[in-house]
Amino acid sequence: MIYFDNSATTRPYKEVIDTYTKVSLEFFGNPSSLHPLGKAAERLLQQAREVAASLLGVKTKEVVFTSGGTEGNNLAIKGTAMQHRGRGKHIITTNVEHASTKETFRQLEGEGFEVTYLEVDSDGVVSVDQVKAALTKETILVSVIHVNNETGSIQPVTEIGGLLRQYPKIVFHVDHVQGIGKVPLHFAASNIDLCSISGHKFHGLKGNGILYVRDGIRLYPLLTGGSQERGSRAGTENVAGVAAMVKALRMSKERSAQAIKKMAEINSWLERKCLEIPGVVVNSPNPRAPHILNLSVPGIKPEVIVQALAEHEIYISTKSACASKHAEPSHVLLSMGFSSDRASSAIRLSFTYDNTMEEAEAFVEAFASVVASLKKVVNKQ
Amino acid sequence: MKYNHILIRYSELALKGKNRTDFEKKLTENIRRSLVQFPQVKVIRSFGRMFVELNGADEKAVSDRLQDVFGIHSFSPALKIELDQEKIDDGALWAMKDALPDQEGTFKVTVKRPNKSYPRRSQELNYHIGSHILRNTDRLTVDVHQPDVEVKVEIREEAAYIMCKTLLGAGGLPVRTAGKVLLMLSGGIDSPVAGYLALKRGVELEAVHFHSPPFTNERAKQKVVDLTKVLTRYGGTIRLHIVPFTEAQKEIHQKVPDKYEMTVMRRFMLRIAEGVAFNNNALAIVNGESLGQVASQTLDSMHTINEVTNMPVLRPLVTMDKLEVIEVARKIGTYDLSILPFEDCCTIFLPPQTKTKPNKEKANHYEKELAINRLVQAAVEQVETLTIRAGTNVDKEIADLL
């Protein structure tokens, strides 16, 4: 099996599952219970928080455990919008956001917020000057995806953060779900106030994520109830999932420096080789994140390629998993100026630390033959 | 380019005459200990100066740790550069930009040249390096009287050193140069701050905590362990003595009238602390009392409670306002732990009315009903001692899971 769909999700590490089962059985107490079982679970949760904080280079109290990237983005954006709606109702973002951000903004527009969608250039990125030009006295939030999930484009997050340093009242949120472990990002140096990540993108389990909430930032909670997560997210904590995610984060961080180089090598090798296949074009820009490569074979439906490769036990995606069931062209590729034909025929390869050059070679071979045979069918040869 | 050294300046050590070498050695040791997480870092002491050789470690992370080491007056990240004029110019320019990232403001260059064999003289170098900086930046100007940044360049035998910023250290004296004290650590806001301030004067710290299960719970005890852990940041390894206090406290509650209950309880705590201090060769007791805050801390109360011991009781907070104490607690990282709402042994038996002006005669009178020696001895003998080490705060069992 060759699994090149790691931006959709990753396979959990064995050690992560071990932690999950062990914690589920042995630390099953409710962290809010007063007895020793509760205390043990609370202690585990607290220490998991400390380890997560030190791995992310932030303060312990800045770590809020969530159910994943979608919740993190929702909490960051709606939580800020609701908290500061008295001060202003203008929000700035880009036109290449993930669905969990984009749809949240649509919802807020229905509530009377005004959202500016900055248009990306042909590399899929916005500039600091665009952000600056869009700022108004009413602006309360700037929200930007760090690494685009379809193309691997990297937004100039650190530079935007630098600009926003002069506007201390504007909250800066970064969707770091695709970036974590793949494209290093220093939260404090980038002046980030809110940053979402998701456990299952780095070999943790689905249903766990972290929202970094900079010390001093207040959010209007989406889930109300008990005082868990310092009141910003009520609900009994998913202790086993949290521990498993922190384990995955630690394992990823230990390997990331080397693995990033390796993924980048595989990525650029694949780009070169795929371009040699007649009819294949590359949509991802250069430079890009090391783990994503977006290609198109104009004229052939991407679903068909995905199915054909699956017969070779090779697994890839058409655009992003969260949007791939809609047969529309990719809004990200359209925004970058690609034709509708090309934007409707995109496939995405996405890697992780354990992918190898041998897998890449096997992929190219299978891909070339799949493309050749499909072309024959389409062209009635 | 990045900083490869940090120059350390001592605080009061210069005054210490014959002891100076001992103090310096202790300080070196303390700095090494606080930097264990950076294995590549070296601490070097020579000719009355101390250097941290970074060997690639992050200057900001190391600075962050140095700021917690008592005995350091101030320190400056330094660039060590070979004696080559072009390299020195570029180093000075880099350090200047690092100190003022916006590159807007004023500076001056101060060159010292103990190495007289270097071909250019200090005055000439001041001008030369200053010009190099001016040529390569847009919005910097020279101000020799009150510059935003002073670029210090030292031309020594082995190399040139360039420094642009000075960070204040924690001051005080190196811990473990002044003898041992025992801190009465309750879990509230005050006592950890008292421990911190005692450490600032160079003591070696141990702590005692009174635990009354089941009236106080495990979380309260854990909180004290966690607070001690924070103090290890400043004091290295700390031994924490947990006193089983239930028996004594129950008996006091039974036999002493409500309004003297707290006074007598405090007297027992002090007696037990004295016993623990004696067993561990501590020369003084430290507590978090401030004058006139609450019932036990009025002058009358202090007078009556202090009667039971001859050992010096140091009260670093005695003249501080509550808000000042809170400010320090926040700075040293104990505040968030201290305000966690667990019962500690002071609040659990707190009677409805407490005498704010107790007197010795009455306290002694009520204590006649109690088997003082037996209760105190039993408590001292059953002390459980934990050794709290600096470093990771994660339990072994949990660390394996994570």
Q: Is the pLDDT of residue B292 over 90?
A: no
Partners of residue B212 on adjacent β-strands: none
Shortest Cα–Cα distance, B336 to chain A (Å): 9
Give strand pairing partners of A5. Answer: A350
State pLDDT tens for residues A96-137. Answer: 999 999 999 999 999 999 999 999 999 999 999 999 999 999
Q: In terms of residues, how long is chain B?
A: 402
Measure B397 CA to nearest chain A CA, in Å.
9
The answer to whether the CB atoms of A23 and B401 lie below 8 A apart is yes
Q: Note the pLDDT tens digit of each residue in B81-123.
A: 999 999 999 999 999 998 888 888 999 999 999 899 999 999 9
Q: Report chain A residues whose CB lies below 8 A from the CB of B334.
A: none
pLDDT at residue B280 tops 90: yes
Contact between A44 and B398 using a beta-carbon 8 Å cutoff? yes
Residue with tokens 């106080």: B216
For the B5-168 domain, the top CATH level (class) is: alpha beta
Q: Which residues of B222-256 are buried (b: 16+ CB within 10 A; e: fewer)?
A: bbbbbbbbbbbbbbbebbbbbbbbbebbebbbeeb
Confidence at residue A16, expressed as pLDDT on a 0 to 100 scale:
97
Q: How far apart are CA A38 and CA B4, in angstroms?
A: 47
Residue A201 clears pLDDT 60, i.e. is over it: yes
What average pLDDT is seen over chain A? 94
pLDDT at B352: 63
Structure tokens at A248: 């995955």
Phi, psi of A355 (to 5 degrees): -65, 150
Statement: residue A246 has pLDDT above 60: yes
Ligand-binding annotation for B269, yes or no, is no
Whether residue B311 is annotated as binding a ligand: the answer is no
Report the gap between the CA of A3 and the closest CA in chain B (Å): 26
Vertex A297, ends A292 and A303: CA angle to 5°? 80
Domain ranges in chain B are: 5-168, 180-400
Confidence of residue A18 (pLDDT cuts 50, 70, 90): very high
Residue B31 contacts residue B69 (beta carbons within 8 Å): yes
Domains of chain A: 2-7+255-380 (3.90.1150.10), 14-251 (3.40.640.10)
* Spatial CA neighbour of B70 closest among B200, B183, B166, B197: B200
A62 to chain B nearest CA, in Å?
Answer: 13
Instruction: Render pLDDT for B337-360 as a digit per residue (tens, 0 to 9).
Output: 998 876 555 555 666 677 778 889
Q: For residue range A320-345, list pLDDT tens digits in order.
A: 555 555 568 899 999 999 998 899 99
Higher-confidence position of B259 and B205? B205
Instruction: Report the share of chain A in percent with pLDDT over 90.
Output: 91
Q: Considering the entire predicted model, what is its pTM?
A: 0.81
Cβ B46 vs Cβ B157: under 8 Å: no
The single-letter DSSP state of residue A147 is B
**Contacting residues for A104 by C-beta, under 8 A, at least 6 apart:** A73, A74, A77, A78
Q: In this predicted model, what pLDDT tens digit does every residue of B12-55 receive, in sequence order?
A: 655 556 778 888 889 999 999 999 889 999 999 876 678 899 99
What was the pLDDT predicted at B21?
A: 82
Q: Which of A27, A35, A47 to mutate to test the interface with B (most CBs of B within 10 A)?
A: A47
Mean pLDDT in residue range A191-216: 97
Rounded percentage of chain B residues whose pLDDT exceeds 90: 67
Task: Annotate A24-64 with DSSP letters as a single string.
Answer: HHHS-S-TT-SSHHHHHHHHHHHHHHHHHHHHHTS-GGGEE
DSSP state of B18: G
Annotated active-site residue in A322, A362, A364, A366: A322
pLDDT at site A253: 94
Class of domain B180-400: alpha beta
Peptide bond between residue A287 and the one before it cis (omega within 30 degrees of 0): yes
- Look at A23 and B402 and tell me if their CB atoms are within 8 Å: no
Question: Cβ–Cβ of B401/A36 closer than 8 Å?
Answer: no
Identify which of A34, A42, A246 has the shortest CB distance to residue B402: A246
pLDDT, position B357: 84
Question: pLDDT at residue A346 above 80?
Answer: yes
The pLDDT tens digits for A304-323 are 999 999 999 999 998 755 55
CA-based nearest residue in chain A for residue B221 = A39
Q: Which residues of A touch B (CB under 8 A)?
A: 19, 22-23, 34, 36, 39, 42-44, 47-48, 50-51, 61, 243, 246-247, 250
- Per-residue pLDDT tens over the stretch B296-326: 688 999 999 999 999 999 999 999 999 999 9
For residue B219, which residues of chain A lie inside 8 Å, CB to CB? 34, 39, 42
- Using 50, 70 and 90 to split pLDDT, how confident is the model at B11? confident
Mean pLDDT comparison of A136-140, A227-231, B288-292, highest-scoring range: A136-140
The DSSP line for A275-294 is HTSTT-EE-S-SS--TTEEE
Fold match between B5-168 and B180-400? no
Q: B 216-255 residues with CB below 8 A of A?
A: 217-219, 222
- In sequence order, the 6+-apart residues with CB closer than 8 A to the CB of B323 are none
Give me chain B's average pLDDT, please. Answer: 90
pLDDT tops 60 at residue B167: yes
Assess whether pLDDT exceeds 70 at residue A381: no
Give the angle subtended at the CA of A216 by the CAs of A214 and A218, to the nearest 5°: 90
Say whether residue B402 is in contact with chain A using an 8 A CB cutoff: yes
Cβ A47–B336 below 8 Å, yes or no? Answer: no
A50 and B393 within 8 Å at the Cβ level: the answer is yes
Does B323 touch chain A if contact means CB atoms closer than 8 Å?
Answer: no
Whether chain A has a CB inside 8 Å of the CB on B58: the answer is no
Give me the pLDDT at residue B334, please. 95
At B143, the pLDDT band (50, 70, 90 cuts) reads: very high
Average of pLDDT values for B136-148?
92
Residue range B236-246, pLDDT digits in tens: 999 999 999 99
Q: Is B307 on the interface with A (CB under 8 A)?
A: no
Q: Assess whether pLDDT exceeds 60 at residue A244.
A: yes
Q: Between the CA of residue B16 and those of B19, B21, B24, B75, B202, what are the distances in Å?
A: 6, 9, 10, 20, 13
Question: Which value does ipTM take for this structure?
Answer: 0.74
Report the C-alpha gap between A4 and B365 in whole angstroms.
Answer: 82
**Does residue A322 carry a catalytic annotation?**
yes
Q: What are phi and psi of B139, to 5 degrees?
A: -115, 25
Residue B297 labeled ligand binder: yes
